[in-house]
Structure 1
Amino acid sequence: MGDDVAKYHALFDHMAQGAFFQSADGSLTDVNPAALEMFGVTRDEFLGRTSMNPQWRVIGENGADLPPEQHPSMAALSSGRPVLDFVAGVFNPCRGCFSWFNLNAIPMFRPGESSPYQVFVTMHDISSQKRVSNIHLSRLRVVQYADAHSLDELMVKALDEVEKLTDSAIGFYHLFDAAADAVVLKAWSTSTLERFCRVEDRDRQYSVEEAGVWVDCLRSGTALIYNDYNTLPHRKGLPPGHAPVQRILVVPVQRNGTVVAILGVGNKPSDYTETDVHTVTLFADLTWDVAQQKQMQSRLLAKTDELKQANELLEQRVSQRTADLQAAIREQESFSYSVSHDLRAPLRHISSYSSILIEDYGPALPYEARTYLDRMRGAANQMGALIDHLLELSRVARAAITPQPMDLSAAAAAILQMLQETEPHRLVCQEIEPGLSVKGDVHLVKQLLGNLLGNAWKYTAKTSFPRIAVGKTMISGGEVFFVTDNGAGFDMDYQAKLFKPFERLHGSEFDGVGIGLATSHQIVERHGGRIWGEGTVGKGATFYFTLGG
């Protein structure tokens, strides 16, 4: 039996887990060295205590004090059932902070008894896991909080969280302006504002030179702990209303090798450690990153609002331009109606009365008078032709475009055949490249070809061996159609006048009113294309055009 007891004590004393016994009356009766280290007490301080002892400070996972009757050992004694995987925090006076444990309480019974006479408790330290979990949850709360709160509210929330994790009473966040070599207060924690600092000049900018020891980390670029603030020889006086300081921990936030901000906590009941440095550093970096993201979101929202306003303004302008265009079209239609009806009536009268005068009184009229009448009739007929061409130009500007594939070669051949039939005596060499196709409004494209081929036919009338060709070529990497002839040509100095209404580059030796090329230009523009001409006097002209898509 003695050997068994010795083995038991050897095992009990050398367990890595903490273990202790507690009797039915709540007295602590035995404890192993591992548990004493975890609790931070001596064997004499431990033995004889009960759960009711006020020196115990036990909290639950929610941070609230845990009543003695809810301690796992007392719960197992009162219920007679094991309490397993119970998590609680116990204040360790040696470390000056709470240590977290996972506890299992097993009630023990004597033979024949229904109530336990003692409880056996095992425990293992989960403080590091608990700290990592708390940090993770706090970081998660900060990120979630950022979605629905302002940047200033976010900074305060982050400081509140890091205060809880480090058991601090003060928290502050300053931005560093390297150009001005100064720091600017960005946020204080809630407890700092409510219980410690009553400084009025909160927006003050401090130069690094005049600031206190809390900017030492700017010079070193590393986290600094001052656990005995009042003994520091280089500390500065605190402004009126500032909290008294016992100890502080300050870490720099660095981006691209440059310090951009500092986050500090202060007045922890016990000394700050490297564990606290790790925690504060994580939050300093997180706060900066979330703040930057928040600012980017704000700028993006502002740009989105600007874009929305710009779109709304653009829609208003488009609506106004559309209304203006519709009004202009109505005015043009009204003008076309007036031209077609109001101007034609007097022209008809002039032409009719001139004809009557010649027919009824021709023999009695002097030759000079008959000549004047003939000129009046000619002018009236020319005016009628001008009106017809103006109406044609107006219709082209208003016509609806209905693009569809068409055979350009066949259309050109049909137009040249019609021209040949009107002047069968002319021998004109006609060259049309086969397979020319284009997508455009069939009626308008035929009108375009009619104008260009009609000009080529007209201006080759005095050429000995007239030639007209239709084809396509590549210019600047794009497909371009052309109509060319070897007729009268034109002086390139007057190229700018080619497509202006009523501008003619030839005299009376060729008929025309100067509307055909203007109409052609309008048709090409309506299709989103380009048209231009090249010519040499006496050697012919070539007109190139594209029709957009």
Structure 2
Amino acid sequence: MGDDPAKYHALFDQMAQGAFFQSADGTLTDVNPAALEMFGLTRDEFLGRTSMNPDWRVIAEDGSDLPPERHPSMAALGSGRPVRDFIAGVFNPRKRCICWFNLNALPMFRPGDSSPHQVFVTMHDISSHKRINDIHLSRIRLIQCAGVHPLDELMVQALDEVEKLTGSAIGFYHLFDAATGSVALKAWSTSTLERFCGIDDRDQHYSVEQAGVWADCLRSGKATIYNDYNIIPHRKGFPPGHTPVRRILVVPVQRNGEVVAILGVGNKPSDYTETDVHTVTLFADLTWDVAQQKQMQDRLLAKTGELKEANELLEQRVNQRTADLQAAIRERESFSYSVSHDLRAPLRHISSYSSILIEEYGPALPYEARTYLDRMRGAANQMGALIDHLLELSKVARAVISPEPIDLSAAAAGILQMLQETEPHRMVYQEIQPGLTTQGDVHLVNQLLGNLLGNAWKYTLKTPFPRIAVGKTTAAGEEVFFVTDNGAGFDMSYQSKLFKPFERLHGSEFDGVGIGLATSHQIVERHGGRIWGEGTVGRGATFYFTLGGRCEHEVTAAGDVAR
């Protein structure tokens, strides 16, 4: 462990990665807090266990149970060789769900020994990445199913997919007729029909007033979660043949401002969350669209054989869209896995091995050698920050846009206040035009303003009397917002590189990785708008943007505010 156990434990405990040691006999001997959080265990519950402990529930990437001898730590101990980038799911008793990890196991040897005396394992949580990939694959299967199966089977397939993604045991899809205020029981998942719902009359119609709590989303028009069914005051009893419900999540499908259907899942082992709402909403909308397309196709086929050519064209378009979706998903999968595996793996190794070198041989190393190791770890941290920014850029491309009114003036004031609080010694003159409003996704627009104002704050660092302004002007007859400063500026001959990832127009005198403006460009494009920049070296820069519609506050030209 080195000559300074206290220093070793401090470093070990502060690692952002989960890490633990396992001895040659399979006993878990040490663990850091990050790993305990990932496993959902206390230190006392973890230490002393072996891979043979029956409380472990570990599954392979294909969903099959993973035998103890195939656990990465045991495989490394048995073979004496490292096990790298092993994907496995482990049941977390606190979260009551399977969490997915990427694990690396490094066997450790004493001098002269041919067999390892222990193994050092590092791990990081990839549950969110795996969930995104699973959703994409489920959508592909559903679209493929639409081409070869009747509508009823398609509905069941959709419910089976959303059940699997949410870990639920119940799934149902009902149609709603706003004119009559009635709900038609349309489809149930396979497991619901087999295990939970033995009702004889499955073609029954309900009025909303007669329906149970699962119809609350019809009344509110919003997703409804009940994680403890028994405490709901307005719950009703279950009809004969229906198994009791413990938890339920129901989301409405809306078209043209009206609810047309609902999709519900139930009896998940743990509480439903907003992540589940996102997943179920996605499949509810997709199921409706595919079902509508399927019904249209069936009507066309029923009319006359002369429509065969039109049907073949429709099939061709569905297949082409499926191929396009698969290609896009493969590209995003490749990017996500490159970031989370190919890029992060060498960083983990650099950080782990440099830490081991410092701990094991630190006192014996010259000062310059320790300095080089510190620089190595600093470079790894910088690369980690770059990866985080790349993932943020990827998230913007996948984010669901939820437009709502936004007070840009208030948002800009809040961001500048936060920047001022981080550097209270700086005196920056700030001017924000009042009454700037627009429509857009609140989270993404705040991120856009944060990037632009953060750049303005950063590039006025060396300006004697720094000044930042936010306002609105008119360009080519179109009203646009702007963020301007009197900082370092940029050479307009490099304007074409402004919004490309990694293209930085300044050297190391200013921090950054060259992702912020690329992310801003992506956000503006997702809103159907435009963004561009103008600047002069040493005299500042101005960035203009629109968000797909007119600005809502009449003002004068930019010169009245910005200059």
TM-score by structure 2 length? 0.54
State the secondary structure of the residue aligned to 1:250.
Answer: strand
- Cα 1:214/1:308, change in 2 over 3 Å: closer
CA distance in 2, matches of 1:307, 1:67: 56
State the secondary structure of the residue aligned to 2:119.
Answer: strand
Q: What per-residue deviation string (whole Å, max 9, x for no partner) do you get for residues 61-86 of structure 1?
A: 12121111111111111111111111
CA distance in 2, matches of 1:208, 1:104: 54
CA distance in 2, matches of 1:166, 1:95: 13
Aligned to 1:31: 31
CA distance in 2, matches of 1:61, 1:293: 34
Aligned to 1:362: none
State the secondary structure of the residue aligned to 2:89.
Answer: strand
State the secondary structure of the residue aligned to 1:183.
Answer: strand
Aligned to 1:17: 17
Q: Which structure has the larger Rg over C-alpha atoms?
A: 1
CA distance in 2, matches of 1:304, 1:51: 65
- Cα 1:74/1:176, change in 2 over 3 Å: same
1:164 maps onto 2:164 in alignment: yes
The worse-fitting range, judged by mean Cα deviation, of 236-245 and 203-212 is 236-245
Aligned runs of 1:222-261 on 2, under 5 Å?
222-261=222-261
Aligned runs of 1:198-217 on 2, under 5 Å?
198-217=198-217
CA distance in 2, matches of 1:2, 1:246: 53
Q: Which amino acid aligns with 1:93?
A: P
* Long gaps (5+) in structure 1: 310-549
Q: Which amino acid aligns with 1:253?
A: V
1:292 maps onto 2:292 in alignment: yes
Aligned to 2:127: 127
CA distance in 2, matches of 1:307, 1:294: 15
Instruction: Return the offset for 1:100.
Output: 0.6
CA distance in 2, matches of 1:65, 1:279: 25
CA distance in 2, matches of 1:224, 1:307: 42
1:8 maps onto 2:13 in alignment: no
- Cα 1:3/1:108, change in 2 over 3 Å: closer
CA distance in 1, matches of 2:24, 2:303: 71
RMSD: 1.5
Aligned residues: 309
Q: What per-residue deviation string (whole Å, max 9, x for no partner) do you get for residues 200-220 of structure 1?
A: 010000100000000000111
CA distance in 2, matches of 1:161, 1:241: 24
State the secondary structure of the residue aligned to 1:235.
Answer: coil
Q: Which amino acid aligns with 2:169?
A: A
Q: What per-residue deviation string (whole Å, max 9, x for no partner) do you get for residues 217-262 of structure 1?
A: 0111111110110111111111100121111000111111111100
Aligned to 2:55: 55
Aligned to 2:42: 42
Q: What per-residue deviation string (whole Å, max 9, x for no partner) do you get for residues 492-512 of structure 1?
A: xxxxxxxxxxxxxxxxxxxxx
Aligned partners of 2:301 and 2:307 also within 8 Å: no
- Cα 1:100/1:190, change in 2 over 3 Å: same
Instruction: Return the offset for 1:88.
Output: 0.6
Aligned partners of 2:2 and 2:8 also within 8 Å: no
CA distance in 1, matches of 2:288, 2:111: 64
CA distance in 1, matches of 2:114, 2:15: 29
CA distance in 1, matches of 2:214, 2:165: 20
Q: Which amino acid aligns with 2:184?
A: V
Aligned runs of 1:106-125 on 2, under 5 Å?
106-125=106-125
CA distance in 2, matches of 1:2, 1:288: 62
Q: What per-residue deviation string (whole Å, max 9, x for no partner) do you get for residues 428-455 of structure 1?
A: xxxxxxxxxxxxxxxxxxxxxxxxxxxx
Aligned to 1:276: 276
CA distance in 2, matches of 1:26, 1:9: 21
Aligned to 1:76: 76
Q: Which amino acid aligns with 2:276?
A: D
State the secondary structure of the residue aligned to 1:246.
Answer: coil
CA distance in 2, matches of 1:231, 1:306: 58
State the secondary structure of the residue aligned to 1:49.
Answer: coil
Q: Which amino acid aligns with 2:262?
A: I
CA distance in 2, matches of 1:285, 1:52: 44
Q: Which amino acid aligns with 1:198?
A: G
Q: What per-residue deviation string (whole Å, max 9, x for no partner) do you get for residues 516-539 of structure 1?
A: xxxxxxxxxxxxxxxxxxxxxxxx
* Long gaps (5+) in structure 2: 310-563
State the secondary structure of the residue aligned to 1:174.
Answer: strand
CA distance in 2, matches of 1:307, 1:289: 22
Instruction: Return the offset for 1:7.
Output: 2.5
Aligned to 1:102: 102
Instruction: Return the offset for 1:304.
Output: 4.8
State the secondary structure of the residue aligned to 2:41.
Answer: coil
State the secondary structure of the residue aligned to 2:63.
Answer: coil
- Cα 1:188/1:307, change in 2 over 3 Å: closer
CA distance in 2, matches of 1:167, 1:63: 13
- Cα 1:29/1:180, change in 2 over 3 Å: same
State the secondary structure of the residue aligned to 1:234.
Answer: coil
Instruction: Return the offset for 1:306.
Output: 5.2
Aligned runs of 1:492-511 on 2, under 5 Å?
none
CA distance in 2, matches of 1:96, 1:86: 22
State the secondary structure of the residue aligned to 1:25.
Answer: coil
Q: Which amino acid aligns with 2:83?
A: V
Aligned to 1:349: none
Q: What per-residue deviation string (whole Å, max 9, x for no partner) do you get for residues 178-216 of structure 1?
A: 111011011000000111110001000010000000000
CA distance in 2, matches of 1:308, 1:195: 41
CA distance in 2, matches of 1:246, 1:82: 45
Aligned runs of 1:419-430 on 2, under 5 Å?
none
Runs (4+) of structure 1 exceeding 4 A deviation are 306-309
1:182 maps onto 2:187 in alignment: no
State the secondary structure of the residue aligned to 1:37.
Answer: helix
- Cα 1:2/1:58, change in 2 over 3 Å: closer
CA distance in 2, matches of 1:120, 1:202: 56
Instruction: Return the offset for 1:120.
Output: 0.5
Aligned partners of 2:301 and 2:308 also within 8 Å: no
Q: Which amino acid aligns with 1:223?
A: A
Q: What per-residue deviation string (whole Å, max 9, x for no partner) do you get for residues 145-174 of structure 1?
A: 111100000000010011111111100000
Structure number with greater CO (CA < 8 Å, separation at least 6) is 2
Instruction: Return the offset for 1:301.
Output: 2.3
